[in-house]
Structure 1
Amino acid sequence: MTRDIHILTEAELRRFVSVDETAIDIVAKAFASLAGGEVIMPPILSMDIPSEHGEVDVKTAYIPGFDGFAVKISPGFFNNPKIGLPSTNGLMILFSAKTGVVEAVLLDNGYLTDVRTAAAGGLAAKLMAPSVVDTAGVMGTGAQARLQIEAAHLVRPFKKVLVWGRDAEKARACASDIAARLGVEAVAETDPAQLVAESQLVVTTTPSAEAVLKADWLHPGLHITAMGSDQTGKNEIDPNVFPHLAAYVPDRISQCEILGELRSALAAGTVKTTEGLPELGQVVLDPSLGRKSDQDITLCDLTGTGAQDTAIATYAFAAATKAGAGVTVEA
């Protein structure tokens, strides 16, 4: 007995999925489902390839009520730009939740991961940033630096963006791209402390193993979204930041204890216990668990979840097939 498998390319998927309010809503619903306790989401399968400055993550989740579930394979090889290749890649495979058969192969080259990651950042800004953001800062100069700022701008339409990176030329290029895309003032900032001082919202998007945002730079009314630390050994946020926080919200406690900024804080002793910490899905359901005052200092720790992958893959597949996109092969 043969069955049809739909194959969709990145170019086709880009026609139907983008960093917009729909993507943020899709990701919000995935986190809300995760908070409900019925989602089946195993730990991330992660493999480090230090000789090539590379890593590979495999994520998946089953969400009750969904017809399918996605398995996402996501390599990140951070030396690639030196040879003219993107640092991230990957694909998603969508399976039937009823039979387990393959329904679709989404050859997105990491695009859907980029969108759902940026959407989670937009959701974090929507729930946790102060009500008015005049200036946003981004630390890092890659694709996520651009997309995170784009998503944040949807929910907090700031007028200015500051960009910091270890490579000043890349920071200037990133700022130029952001200015053209969003129509706001965007400039490269050489001093990361000054970037934080001027910003009400800061997003860290680096693969750094050493903190790029220091506790001494904090100020009332600051929200930080940290999304670069998604594997053991990474650390963007000074662990001494944690005692100053009015709210710390991880996307998934069990992941952030191993991969995120929470890992570094636990190791440093600036966080003693994870008991009582609200996850992002709980804040979706009850925003009072996040920011309570515009003067609060808050942090959202994003390591990326399989629930996001299943949600965005399901949406992308439905939208593309409804429009007749892609090709079908018999298996």
Structure 2
Amino acid sequence: MNQTLIIGKKDAEELLTMEACIRAMEETFRDISAGKTTMLQRSMMPQKKGNTFALMASDNQQQEICGVKAIVFPGSEAKKNGTSQGVIPLFDSTTGALLAIVDAEHITALRTAAASAAATRVLAREDSCTLGLLGAGRIGRMHIAAISQVRPIRRVFVWNRTPAGGEACCKWVKEQLGLEAVLCETPREATEQADILCTVTQAKEPLVEGEWIKEGAHINAVGACAPTAREVDSCTVCRSAIYLDQRQAALRDGGDLVIPLEKGELSMDNIRGEVGQVLLGTVPGRQSLEEITFFESVGIAVEDLSAAHLLYQLALEKGRGTMVEIG
């Protein structure tokens, strides 16, 4: 009888590091653009009190694994129990064996930031030293930690809808990362000073105006994962060379792009391709020091799958998790 490894949140937090996850996301981007993965588009089912139940299925033929993330995106009440409660069952796609059931909350947050860092490593100017952050929650903090691993960040400009959250984030940045942190009163203040800007909010309407963006900046647009929501205005994307995590998903769910494309304000010519294509050398990356680069991240199932597989391998190596018989 096959045994299945159960990996909880505590083990996930202790085993899965940012550095390892960034490397895994770089390899995942390559696999996506090389056609080595298959992914069903995210299915969303509205629930009571603002919750949304989501299913995200994928496989990676290179790694011979498949799985699905089943997760609840929380409304106001569910947020008290975590940012995104769920599990990822991980299967061997050759034998059909259920290898593991992995807690999805830490993986979701970590791989989101790691994917932004992977894109930043290939697109941002190498001398980028200031980071602007809009949205100072858990995933926002992870973005600071992740971007700091791929660029020499010295100062972080933080804006949050609630100032108390921004203050707490600034304190964390200083104490945990040893970086200078500046609390900003407006999104504009954080944006204008940023060599790299990460938008990690739940905004439905644009917080960022294109005229605020520095020449040569890189933007990771993370928060708007629905075709009707966006964090940046049309001017921002029209000024930018745009790169995607996965074309079909980004052009379906990335409101930052979908809305201006539908309005005829943005040309498809602005979209250079996927980050994986840059890593494979089939699409050019940044073309000048003055160019603005833009990464549209909608969060895709194969990223969760790769992170879950990495965690499974680490847990086996370290003897962590709990083996059970299912079936």
TM-score (norm 1): 0.92
| Other-structure match for 1:74 | 71
Letter in 2 for 1:127: V
Alignment check: 8 A CA contact 1:70 1:313 kept: no
- 1:16 aligned onto 2:15: yes
Between the aligned residues of both structures, percent identity stands at 25
| Other-structure match for 1:102 | 98
Alignment check: 8 A CA contact 1:161 1:184 kept: yes
* Structure 1 spans left out of the alignment, 5+ residues: none
- 1:65 aligned onto 2:42: no
Letter in 1 for 2:8: T
- 1:290 aligned onto 2:285: yes
Report the CA distance between 1:54 and its aligned residue: 2.7
Partner of residue 207 from structure 1, selected from 202, 216, 237: 202
- Give me the whole-angstrom Cα distance separating, in 1, the residues matched to 2:263 and 2:211: 16
Residues 268-306 of structure 1, C-alpha deviation per residue, up to 9 Å, x if partnerless?
Answer: 322233796311111121286221212111110001122
Show the 5 A alignment for 1:259-270.
Answer: 259-260=253-254, 261-270=256-265
What root-mean-square deviation, in Å, do the aligned CA atoms of Structure 1 and Structure 2 show? 1.9
- 1:155 aligned onto 2:150: yes
Alignment check: 8 A CA contact 2:26 2:118 kept: yes
| Other-structure match for 1:244 | 239
Letter in 2 for 1:244: R
Question: Which 4+ stretches in 1 moved above 6 angstroms?
Answer: none
Alignment check: 8 A CA contact 2:113 2:139 kept: yes
Report the CA distance between 1:48 and its aligned residue: 3.6
- Give me the whole-angstrom Cα distance separating, in 2, the residues matched to 1:287 and 1:35: 9
Alignment check: 8 A CA contact 1:138 1:161 kept: yes
Alignment check: 8 A CA contact 1:31 1:307 kept: no
SS in 2 for 1:277: strand
- Give me the whole-angstrom Cα distance separating, in 2, the residues matched to 1:250 and 1:65: 21
| Other-structure match for 1:174 | 169
Aligned residues: 325
| Other-structure match for 1:25 | 23
Report the CA distance between 1:264 and its aligned residue: 1.8
- Give me the whole-angstrom Cα distance separating, in 2, the residues matched to 1:218 and 1:275: 17
- Give me the whole-angstrom Cα distance separating, in 1, the residues matched to 2:25 and 2:96: 23
- 1:253 aligned onto 2:253: no
| Other-structure match for 2:43 | 45
Residues 222-253 of structure 1, C-alpha deviation per residue, up to 9 Å, x if partnerless?
Answer: 111001111233211112222211x1001112
SS in 1 for 2:37: coil
Report the CA distance between 1:9 and its aligned residue: 0.8
Partner of residue 144 from structure 1, selected from 131, 139, 144: 139
In 2 relative to 1, CA 194–62 (structure 1 residues): closer, same or farther, beyond 3 Å? same
SS in 1 for 2:15: coil
Larger mean Cα displacement after TM superposition, 288-297 or 116-125: 288-297
Report the CA distance between 1:183 and its aligned residue: 0.5
Alignment check: 8 A CA contact 1:134 1:160 kept: yes
SS in 1 for 2:272: coil
Alignment check: 8 A CA contact 2:273 2:283 kept: no
* Structure 2 spans left out of the alignment, 5+ residues: none
Alignment check: 8 A CA contact 1:80 1:87 kept: no
| Other-structure match for 1:324 | 319
Letter in 1 for 2:28: A
SS in 2 for 1:190: coil
Alignment check: 8 A CA contact 1:79 1:87 kept: no
- Give me the whole-angstrom Cα distance separating, in 1, the residues matched to 2:185 and 2:270: 38
TM-score (norm 2): 0.94
- Give me the whole-angstrom Cα distance separating, in 2, the residues matched to 1:276 and 1:217: 21
In 2 relative to 1, CA 222–81 (structure 1 residues): closer, same or farther, beyond 3 Å? farther
| Other-structure match for 1:223 | 218
- Give me the whole-angstrom Cα distance separating, in 2, the residues matched to 1:310 and 1:190: 38
| Other-structure match for 2:188 | 193
